Amino acid sequence: MKSFFKNDKGEIHFGINGGDGFQKIDNFDVKILKNLGSKKLWRCTVCNDLRIGEIAPKQCPTCFAIDAFVEINEKEFLEMIK
């Protein structure tokens, strides 16, 4: 099951794994999803992991695909985490 992860740069990852520097968010708070429209949102085209952060991950921490993330909008992001 996919979970939310965060790192100390304020980036958020949604997936099976978060990747280097990411820790699982145990107590999910919807505030994490505040102002999504003003943030860069990314989706892995292989496994549908999601990332909130200025830069897409080079390698997906869940499926390990390289350069597989594309930028998505807020609506698509919210659909993916339903």
> What is the contact surface with Zn ion in residues (CB under 5 A)?
44, 46-47, 49, 60, 62-63
* C-alpha to C-alpha distance for 38 and 59, rounded to whole angstroms: 24
Taking the complex as a whole, how short is the minimal distance between the CB of residue 59 and Zn ion, in angstroms?
9
Report the residue number, 38 or 79, with the smaller CB distance to Zn ion. 79
- Cα 78 to its chain centre, rounded Å, is 11
Report the residue number, 12 or 44, with the smaller CB distance to Zn ion. 44
Residue type, 31: K
* C-alpha to C-alpha distance for 77 and 65, rounded to whole angstroms: 19
Report the residue number, 33 or 63, with the smaller CB distance to Zn ion. 63
